Every structure is written in C-alpha cells, then in structure tokens.
C-alpha cells in the first residue's frame, strides 16, 4: 500500500516509537490520526506537523474513545487504511517480592488490559471501519501493525505481566491475519528489542548503557526511526502478512 494519500491511525503517537511513525508517515505524504492519552505532547506534535495530522485523546481500552478516533479518520480524511498500534505500558514486578508476597493482581490485570485488551480493542474497531473502504488495484483495503516486544519470547524476571501481555499480542497476529485476508487487510506485529524512547528514559544512564552493550550488533539502543522505517516497509510490502518480526540487533534477553 502507498502511504501517499492514505490515512493511518497511530496509537501511542504522542511519544517514542509512535511519534517516530507519525513523523515518517507525514513525510511520506500520509495523513495521520494521533490517538493517545497524552494530550499535551500529542497536540503539540499535531500542530508542528500541520494539516495532515489530527490529535484525538484516546484511552485504547475505551471503546467509545477508539470509535471517536476511527470516526475522525473517516470524517476528516475520508477513510482509514492503516493502524500502527504503539500505545502500551511497561512495569517491572516479580511474581513474589523479597518478602515472598505475591504479585498484586490488579497490577497484572492493568498491564493485560492496556497492552493486550487495548490492542484487541483498537484492531477490532479499526478493522470494522477498514472493510467499508474501497480496495486498491491489488485488492488491498488496509494494514494493521501491532507492537509486541522481545519480552514475549525471552521475558526477564520481573516481566511476568508485561511478557504475558505481549505474548498475547503475538498470539493474536496470525488468526487475525487469516480472518481479515478475505477483506484484503494484512496484520503484522513488530517485536522490538530495546529502543531509546521516553519509556526507557526512566532507567538510569548506566542501566541504559549496559542494555545497549548487550545488543550483539549494533551495540546500542534502537532509534525510534528504525522502528518507523520497518513500519513503513510493512505498509509498502504487500507480501508481508501474519508475521511477527523481531527488530532487536540479535539480542536475546538474559534472565535478569
Ligand atoms: N522502548 C522499548 O524499548 C520497547 C521495547 C519493546 C516494546 N516496546 C513497546 O513499544 C510500544 C511503544 O513504547 P515506547 O517505548 O514508544 O513508549 P512511550 O512511553 O514513549 O510511548 C507510549 C505512548 O503510549 C501512550 N499510552 C500509554 N497507555 C495508553 C492508553 N491506555 N491509551 C492510549 N495511549 C496510551 C502514552 O501516553 C505514550 O505516549 C509499547 O507498546 C511498548 O511496550 C517498547
């Protein structure tokens, strides 16, 4: 699918990987709905990028919010052709703490809600709008990219909730791609390694440096635009479908 003249919903588009995608899509001539809880950063980015972009305040677990974002895409830009779903959260909590107390159940549920149920909510509502669009000459109506993590495969101690949520995103990819194939909608998941975004900025510099050094090559944190470059390629390469792509410099996370 061409990016030019097509419209993309980018969740988590106010920050990090999502913001890099927003910038890249606009540069390539696409129109973008930024859907994010962070209103200040999202509106600022939308204002900087101009008339090709709209911001909608969205909590991805809320059906009405996501419906508003999808409807905005159709009313403002005439349709919805792609989703890049980057909204997500990370926590570090062990199954048992030092004193042997169990992981808080509400915390586990919250991570599953935001990362897994949020992904499902966005995709189900976006797909329902996409099937109403006209297919292009190749029969394609849309492309959906979700974001897992290498933690889905090599989750570390303390990542039990996060790894479970991202494992769920991986598991949904193929059945959704199979189901939506008849409409000409592709579904692909990117599983990033360690990227230099505000999510990682919370860690001390020493920890960030050490994480970067664990990457076989290139031995550094990933740059958000490298994620966005892969998202662009996925949109443009019609043969990519039903796959989870690790983007990680060959890192395999150690137990801790
Ligand atoms: N940075 C990394 O190293 C890394 C690695 C693997 C996976 N990921 C995944 O990539 C995605 C993007 O992460 P990032 O590093 O850009 O983080 P980030 O914190 O920079 O951006 C995440 C964005 O999601 C938004 N968001 C969070 N919860 C939301 C909700 N309920 N509804 C709407 N918006 C919400 C935040 O406001 C923020 O703007 C996440 O799903 C994360 O788990 C990141």
Q: Each residue's pLDDT tens digit in the chain (256 positions)? A: 999 999 999 999 999 999 999 999 999 999 999 999 999 999 999 999 999 999 999 999 999 999 999 999 999 999 999 999 999 999 999 999 999 999 999 999 999 999 999 999 999 999 999 999 999 999 999 999 999 999 999 999 999 999 999 999 999 999 999 999 999 999 999 999 999 999 888 777 877 888 899 999 999 999 999 999 999 999 999 999 999 999 999 999 999 8
> Tell me, what's the pLDDT at 207?
76
Domain 7-247: give its CATH architecture: 3-Layer(aba) Sandwich (3.40)
CA distance 177 to 113: 22
Sign of the Cα torsion 145, 248, 27, 40 reads positive
Tell me the backbone φ, ψ of residue 210, rounded to 5 degrees: -65, -40
Catalytic one of 162, 195, 226, 231:
162
Q: Is 162 a catalytic residue?
A: yes
Q: Distance between CA 157 and CA 66 in Å, rounded?
A: 33
The CA 16 to ligand 1 mean position distance, Å, reads: 7
Handedness of CA 201, 205, 206, 209 (dihedral sign): positive
pLDDT tens-digit readout, 95-145: 999 999 999 999 999 999 999 999 999 999 999 999 999 999 999 999 999
Ligand 1, atom 1, lies closest to the CA of 195
In ligand 1, which atom is closest to the CA atom of 18?
16
Q: Enter the pTM of the model.
A: 0.98
Which H/E stretch holds residue 218? Answer: none
Q: Tell me the H-state helices in the chain.
A: 16-27, 39-49, 63-77, 105-111, 118-130, 151-154, 160-180, 198-201, 205-213, 224-236
Cβ of 175 below 6 Å from ligand 1: no
Atom of ligand 1 nearest to the CA of 222: 3
Q: Is residue 41 exposed (0-12), middle (13-18) or buried (19+ Cβ within 10 Å)?
A: middle
Ligand 1 site, residue 87, Cβ cutoff 6 A: yes
Query: Atom 30 of ligand 1 has which residue's CA nearest to it?
Result: 59
Domain ranges of the chain: 7-247
25 CA → ligand 1 middle, Å: 18
Taking the C-alpha atoms of residue 159 and residue 111, their distance in angstroms, rounded to an integer, is 11
C-alpha 48 to ligand 1 mean position (Å): 21
Quick one: which atom of ligand 1 is closest to the CA of 38?
Answer: 37
Q: Measure the CA–CA gap between 41 and 216, rounded to whole angstroms.
A: 33
Q: 191 CB under 6 A from ligand 1?
A: no
């Amino acid at each position: 699918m061409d990016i030019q003249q097509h419209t993309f919903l980018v969740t988590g588009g106010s920050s990090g990987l999502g913001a890099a995608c927003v910038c890249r899509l606009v540069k390539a001539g696409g129109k973008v709905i930024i859907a994010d809880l962070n209103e200040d950063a999202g509106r600022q980015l939308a204002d900087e990028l101009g008339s090709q972009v709209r911001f909608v305040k969205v909590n991805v677990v809320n059906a009405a919010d996501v419906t508003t974002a999808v409807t905005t895409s159709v009313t403002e830009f005439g349709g919805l052709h792609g989703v890049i779903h980057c909204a997500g959260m990370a926590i570090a909590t062990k199954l048992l703490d030092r004193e042997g107390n169990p992981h808080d159940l509400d915390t586990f549920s919250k991570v599953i809600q935001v990362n897994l149920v949020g992904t499902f909510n966005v995709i189900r509502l976006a797909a329902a709008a996409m099937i109403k669009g006209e297919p292009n000459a190749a029969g394609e109506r849309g492309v959906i990219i979700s974001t897992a993590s290498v933690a889905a495969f090599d989750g570390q101690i303390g990542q039990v909730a996060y790894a479970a949520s991202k494992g769920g995103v991986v598991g949904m990819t193929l059945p959704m791609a199979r189901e939506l194939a008849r409409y000409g909608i592709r579904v692909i998941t990117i599983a990033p390694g360690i990227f230099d975004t505000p999510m990682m900025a919370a860690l001390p510099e020493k920890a960030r440096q050490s994480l970067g050094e664990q990457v076989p090559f290139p031995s550094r944190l990933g740059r958000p635009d490298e994620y966005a470059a892969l998202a662009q390629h996925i949109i443009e390469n019609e043969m990519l479908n039903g796959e989870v792509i690790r983007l990680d410099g060959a890192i395999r996370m150690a137990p801790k």
